[in-house]
Amino acid sequence: MAKLTIKDVARHAGVQPSTVSRAINNHPDINADTKARILQSIRDLGYIPDRAAKNFRTRKMRSISLLLPMTGSDFYNRLINSIDETLEDYDYDAGIFPLLSERRLSRYQDPSALPYHTDGLVFASLNPSHLYESLFTIQGLPAVVLDIITPDFDNVTVNNELGGHLAGKHLQERPAQTFVINVEERFHTPFASGVFAERLKGFRAAQQEAGLDFPDSQVFTSEFTLDSARDAARKVLDLREGNINVFTTCDFFAYGLLEEVKLAGLTLGEEVRVVGFDDEKQAQSLGLTTLRQPVEEMGRMVTRLLMDRIQDPELPIRSVQFKPELQVRRTT
Partner DNA sequence: CTGAAAGCGCTAACAC
Partner DNA sequence: GTGTTAGCGCTTTCAG
* Residue 81 binding partner per list DNA, its own copies, none, with a CB distance cut-off of 5 to 8 Å that depends on partner kind: its own copies
d(CA 219, CA 50): 57
330 forms part of the interface with DNA (CB under 7 A): no
323 forms part of the interface with DNA (CB under 7 A): no
**β-bridge partners, 219:** 180
17 forms part of the interface with DNA (CB under 7 A): yes
SS3 category, 287: coil
Query: Which candidate, 260, 262, 268, 245, places its Cα nearest to that of 175?
Result: 245
Draw the binding track, 73-112, toward its own copies (x: CB under 8 A; -: no contact). x--xx--xx--xx--x----xxxxxx-xx-xx--x---xx
Task: Kindly state the smallest distance separating residue 313's Cβ from DNA, in Å.
Answer: 17
Contact criterion met (CB below 8 Å) for 121 and 141: yes
d(CA 309, CA 302): 11
Site for its own copies in 252-291 (CB under 8 A): 259, 262-263, 282, 285
93 forms part of the interface with DNA (CB under 7 A): no
d(CA 327, CA 283): 10
Contact criterion met (CB below 8 Å) for 241 and 234: no
71 forms part of the interface with DNA (CB under 7 A): no
Task: Kindly state the smallest distance separating residue 56's Cβ from DNA, in Å.
Answer: 5
225 forms part of the interface with its own copies (CB under 8 A): yes
* Residue 95 binding partner per list DNA, its own copies, none, with a CB distance cut-off of 5 to 8 Å that depends on partner kind: its own copies
Contacts of 215 (CB under 8 A, 6+ apart): none
d(CA 55, CA 63): 10
How big is the site for DNA, counted in residues (CB under 7 A)?
A: 29
The smaller minimum CB distance to DNA, of residues 102 and 312, is found at: 312
Task: Kindly state the smallest distance separating residue 23's Cβ from DNA, in Å.
Answer: 8
SS3 category, 230: helix
Instruction: Using DSSP bridges, classify how beta strands 63-68 and 93-98 pair: parallel, antiparallel or unpaired.
Output: parallel
d(CA 229, CA 257): 7
Which of 29, 32, 59, 173 forms a contact with its own copies (CB under 8 A)? 59
8 forms part of the interface with its own copies (CB under 8 A): no
* Residue 6 binding partner per list DNA, its own copies, none, with a CB distance cut-off of 5 to 8 Å that depends on partner kind: DNA
Give the rounded distance of the alpha carbon of 161 from its chain centre.
Answer: 18
The smaller minimum CB distance to DNA, of residues 33 and 102, is found at: 33
Give the rounded distance of the alpha carbon of 289 from its chain centre.
Answer: 22
d(CA 302, CA 320): 9
6 forms part of the interface with DNA (CB under 7 A): yes
Contacts of 258 (CB under 8 A, 6+ apart): 268, 274, 286, 288, 331
Which of 1, 11, 12, 24 forms a contact with DNA (CB under 7 A)? 24
15 forms part of the interface with DNA (CB under 7 A): yes
19 forms part of the interface with DNA (CB under 7 A): yes
Q: Which residues contribute to the site for its own copies (CB under 8 A)?
A: 46, 48-53, 55-56, 59, 61, 63, 70-73, 76-77, 80-81, 84-85, 88, 93-98, 100-101, 103-104, 107, 111-114, 117, 136, 139, 225-227, 259, 262-263, 282, 285
Q: Which residues contribute to the site for DNA (CB under 7 A)?
A: 3, 5-7, 14-22, 24-25, 28-31, 33-35, 49-50, 53-54, 56-58
